[in-house]
Amino acid sequence: MRTVAIIGTGFVADLYAASLRTFPDIQVVACYDKDAERLQRFCAHWQLPAVDSIDAVLTGPATLVLNLTNPHAHFEVSRQLLEAGKHVYSEKPLSMRMEDAVVLHALAKARGLQIASAPCSLLSEAAQTLRLAVEQGRIGVPKLVYAELDDDYISQAPLTKWKSESGTPWPIEDELVVGCTLEHAGYYLTWLMAMFGPVRTTVSASAGLADVSGLTSAETAPDYSSATLFFESGVVARLTCSILAPHDHRIRVIGDRGVASVTESWDNRAAVKVRTRHVIRRRMINSPIARKVPSPAFTRHPAVKRRGAASMNFMLGPAEMLDAIAAGREARQAGDFALHLTEVSLAIQSAGENTGAQHMTTRFTPSPVTHWAGQRTSVQES
Ligand SMILES: NC(=O)c1ccc[n+]([C@@H]2O[C@H](COP(=O)([O-])OP(=O)(O)OC[C@H]3O[C@@H](n4cnc5c(N)ncnc54)[C@H](O)[C@@H]3O)[C@@H](O)[C@H]2O)c1
């Protein structure tokens, strides 16, 4: 039996708990939250064991600890876990400041431990099939990507009515203070990093546009950002995040022979479609028929039968990490990958109006396409 502990039993913890049901070989040995009432409610609902101090997690038997606390608490909680000898799977971002992420990355390395950052949708059937389609040359040479992470005019949604399955309210203020870029950019940035490697430079802009009652613009983070990402491999991607424009989670990878697309980053099993480009006499046309790319069997993984964000299997990342720890290899989202994801996300979020080009200081070595269970597989096996 593989063992994990959970710190932070708020809104997102329910999505992990629902996902855990698809991994019966992973046992939760302890849950802790500084809010005792939330802890009790969560543990009663999911029938999971509660402990009354973080020390009980630090000294407990869990191989891997899921840090599901609020972003401003990530650094301190992860630091304590690493110092206690625990591997850490952190919700995004790794930390709110790059210098803290560097400390965590170095601490893990020095202790022979791993720290990874969510999101894990890059391990999904959709992300891996898209990557395979690109690597197999179905669109020719990839040149440009348009990726959208727009979530509609969130500040006008009935946010106070949003509750998790066990009854925790959606953390409105925290989400607005942390901002949609740090909350969401990773849902495609990870896919792009897995496909095209490290980002060399970002040219980004971000702004706070919506009026949010009760919070000043100095307190809230940008609710819009747009980044042009220059990958070392030569591909250029435009990544947009907002909580104003109507819901749009498309990604389109444009190659010199066609376009591969997915319409929903949060749907682990979203179809990957390819339209090829043809010249017929004097006209150039993009094929009116989008061909669905078959998903190889090894990309399939346990599904959580829900809708929206809740349809993602939040345990794919921790499960792959447990496999990696057991096999003595680095997890797909750990180490340099997590640090680079954090650096690029923070750069986009903080860009504002006048920052211009930001040259990334971190790099990582891309891994091959991943079997959801963590076995090393290669493109040839498809
Ligand atoms: N809300 C979402 O829809 C959503 C979706 C995906 C990922 N996330 C990510 O999940 C993380 C948590 O978000 P959430 O929505 O669950 O927030 P939340 O406020 O609902 O829950 C966070 C919990 O962490 C606890 N906590 C904070 N500091 C702690 C500490 N030092 N020790 C113990 N417990 C502590 C809080 O008491 C709270 O119960 C964030 O990183 C967020 O980006 C959230």
* Structural domains present in the chain: 2-117 (3.40.50.720), 124-293+306-313+333-381 (3.30.360.10)
Closest C-alpha residue for ligand 1 atom 31: 73
Give the list of residues 6+ apart from residue 279 with CB closer than 8 angstroms, or none: 285
38 CA: nearest ligand 1 atom: 39
Closest C-alpha residue for ligand 1 atom 3: 12
Which DSSP letter does residue 124 get?
Answer: S
124: left (phi over 0), alpha (psi -120 to 50) or beta: beta
Closest C-alpha residue for ligand 1 atom 8: 12
- How, if at all, do strands 356-359 and 199-207 pair? antiparallel
169 CA: nearest ligand 1 atom: 20
User: Where do the H-state alpha helices sit in 65-210?
Assistant: 71-83, 98-111, 125-135, 172-178, 180-184, 186-196
Question: What spacing in Å lies between the alpha carbon of 67 and ligand 1's midpoint?
Answer: 8
182 CA: nearest ligand 1 atom: 43
The finding on whether 65 has its CB within 6 A of some atom of ligand 1 is no
Cβ atoms of 281 and 264 closer than 8 Å: no
The finding on whether 272 has its CB within 6 A of some atom of ligand 1 is no
Average pLDDT over residues 223-229: 98
DSSP of 230-256, one letter per residue?
Answer: EETTS-EEEEEEESSSPPBB-EEEEES
Q: Which residue has the higher pLDDT, 219 or 341?
A: 341
pLDDT for res 240:
98
Q: Above pLDDT 70, what percent of the chain?
A: 95
Instruction: Determine the residue of 9, 12, 94 to mutate for testing ligand 1's pocket, defined as the one with the most ligand atoms within 8 A of the Cβ atom.
Output: 12
pLDDT for res 376:
38
Closest C-alpha residue for ligand 1 atom 9: 91
In this predicted structure, the answer to whether residue 69 has a pLDDT above a threshold of 50 is: yes
pLDDT for res 93:
98
Closest C-alpha residue for ligand 1 atom 38: 10
Give the list of residues 6+ apart from residue 21 with CB closer than 8 angstroms, or none: 304
Average pLDDT over residues 227-237: 98
Burial class (CB in 10 A: 0-12, 13-18, 19+), 248: middle
Burial class (CB in 10 A: 0-12, 13-18, 19+), 283: exposed
Question: What spacing in Å lies between the alpha carbon of 9 and ligand 1's midpoint?
Answer: 7
| pLDDT tens figures, 317-362 | 999 999 999 999 999 999 999 999 999 999 999 999 999 999 999 9
Which residue has tokens 């106070």? 160
Give the residues across from 116 on adjacent strands: 89, 334
Mean pLDDT, the chain, rounded, equals: 93
pLDDT for res 374:
45
Average pLDDT over residues 76-84: 98
- Which of 37, 36, 39 has the alpha carbon at shortest distance from 28? 39
| pLDDT tens figures, 266-278 | 999 999 999 999 9
**Strand, helix or coil at 115?**
strand
pLDDT for res 305:
81
pLDDT for res 375:
44
22-26, 115-119, 172-176, 271-275 — which is least confidently predicted? 172-176
Average pLDDT over residues 150-163: 94
pLDDT for res 308:
72
43-57, 241-255, 318-332, 360-374 — which is least confidently predicted? 360-374
Give the list of residues 6+ apart from residue 138 with CB closer than 8 angstroms, or none: 255, 257, 258, 260, 274, 276, 293
pLDDT for res 307:
75
Half-sphere exposure of 77 (CA within 13 A, CB side): 28
Average pLDDT over residues 208-237: 88
